[in-house]
Amino acid sequence: MKTKEKTTTNALEILKHRYYKLEKHRLTLEEARINAEAARLIYKLRTEAKLSQKELADLIGTTQSVISRLEDDDYEGHSLGMLTKITAALHKKLHLVTESVS
């Protein structure tokens, strides 16, 4: 037997729900922003080092298609591990910095 759907029944719940959606949206935007930041950082480091994707790939022991994927603004799979391999290969140190948001 199918149970009745739970519905939002009062103003407070409605407001909470709206806030939750707002928060979820803010998170989505934040994730898109940081993904793009990572992609552009990799592109910037590689081009400043005057390397092709293939050359950078060889340096860190992977393939060109992987580098291409990492430089895609929409790629969502960035890991600290990969970022560290790249920055270390190019003789840079990576740091994580946070900024307060008002």
Report the alpha-carbon distance of residue 22 to residue 61 in Å, rounded: 41
Residue with smaller CB distance to DNA, 28 or 79: 79
* CA 62 to chain CA mean position, Å: 20
- 19 to 6, 10, 26, 33, 102: CA distances (angstroms): 19, 15, 10, 21, 17
Contact between 41 and 80 under an 8 Å Cβ cutoff? The reply is no
Q: Is 84 in the site for DNA (CB under 7 A)?
A: no
Select the binding partner of residue 69 from its own copies, DNA, none (C-beta < 5 to 8 A, by kind).
Answer: DNA
Q: Is 69 in the site for its own copies (CB under 8 A)?
A: no
Q: Can you say whether the dihedral through the CA atoms of 58, 63, 66, 72 is positive or negative?
A: positive
Q: Is 39 in the site for DNA (CB under 7 A)?
A: no
Select the binding partner of residue 71 from DNA, its own copies, none (C-beta < 5 to 8 A, by kind).
Answer: DNA
Q: Which of 21, 33, 63, 94 binds DNA (CB under 7 A)?
A: 63
> Which stretches of the chain bind DNA, using CB under 7 A?
52-54, 61-66, 68-69, 71-72, 76-79, 81-82
